[in-house]
A and B are shown apart, each in its own frame.
Chain A
Amino acid sequence: MATPDNISTLTRIRIPLKRGEFDEREFHAMPSLVRFLEEILPGAKTGVVEAAETPAAQMDTLLRKWNSGKPMAYSRAFSNLKPTARGVWEMKTADLRVFGWLWRPKVFIATFAGLADDYKSQDGNPPKESYAEARDRVVWTRDRLGLDPPNFVTGAYNALV
């Protein structure tokens, strides 16, 4: 049996929660995302949107919402990429983009994360990576990870999240 809890490639991401808050959803990460959290995020600055909070604080807010089961505003915080049948999801904040999939309802497997500016066209230049490329990276990784089938779930937002 290969589940996110017993596959060595994945790391469960936890966050300190306040009293009265409990782990209601699971967030698992591929190694590249763990490195992003450890090495890139601490020094990351807000991008063109000039957000009030640092990217690290934004990630804390995002993880707290996900892990503690708080409402995730569809499209603003969590949305599926087209075509939706491929089951690739994006978590986002003002400065961050996290790509992955739902292995089971409320179980998110995060493949990688990047800064929002890298996914936007700026000064007439194309983004460093397109959403289509990001989606394909997630699918490529998912197909090779070896989790128990089905590889991912799709369905109504409220049932999945």
Chain B
Amino acid sequence: MPSFNFDIGEKERAGSRFLSDVRDELQRALATEKSRRKITQQEIANLLETSRAVINRQIMGLENIGIKRVAEILWAIGWEPYFEARPIPEGENEFIRPAATTPREPDSDNRTARASALDDRKKNEKDKTTSAADLAYAE
């Protein structure tokens, strides 16, 4: 079975997935409160002295949202954030950073990640014999 591993890189993944998790949790909290007491985005915007459009864009992921605003939106609906950091268990970090005492070239993280991504890409290369008719249309 051919497979392709879609990988945007560990650093990018760490950031965007955390953001996605925070947004999902924010949306879950809002949905819960909305069904419980019909709170609207306009009411939240009023409490935060901003516009409904801004709140909507932040909740939907169309606008960058800072951790302060996350806490403010949750405050507006009577919730609070809970955050905990923890070390990644040994062996589960795909890119092992060199020891702090090892001199590193500038941008070495990115180059290592790119080399790793290239290797993955080569692994994914495969001969795809596809029906010309299927593709002619799909293109």
Q: Give the B-binding residues of A (Cβ under 8 A).
A: 5-6, 8-16, 18-19, 29-32, 34, 37-38, 49-53, 56-57, 59-61, 63-65, 70-71, 73, 76, 94, 111-112, 137, 140-141, 144-145
Contacts and interface: CB of A to CB of B under 8 A. Distances in A.
B62 A60 contact: no
B103 to A, nearest CB: 29
Which has the most chain A C-beta neighbours within 10 Å: B6, B94, B131? B6
Contacts, number: 108
A141 B89 CA distance: 44
B63 interface: yes
Given A11-B128, A52-B63, A61-B16, A6 B1 contact: yes
A16 B7 contact: yes
Given A9-B131, A16-B7, A140 B137 contact: yes
A8 B16 contact: no
Query: Could you say which interface size class chain B belongs to?
Result: 35 or more
B6 A15 contact: yes
Contacts of A13: 3-4, 6
B4 A29 contact: yes
Which has the most chain A C-beta neighbours within 10 Å: B13, B121, B133? B13
B130 interface: yes
B105 to A, nearest CB: 24
A134 to B, nearest CB: 11
Contacts of B138: 30-32, 111-112, 137, 141
27 contacts: A5-B1, A6-B1, A8-B128, A8-B130, A11-B2, A13-B3, A13-B6, A14-B3, A15-B6, A19-B92, A30-B138, A31-B138, A34-B128, A38-B4, A38-B121, A52-B62, A52-B65, A53-B16, A53-B19, A56-B8, A59-B6, A60-B12, A60-B16, A61-B16, A64-B17, A71-B24, A144-B133
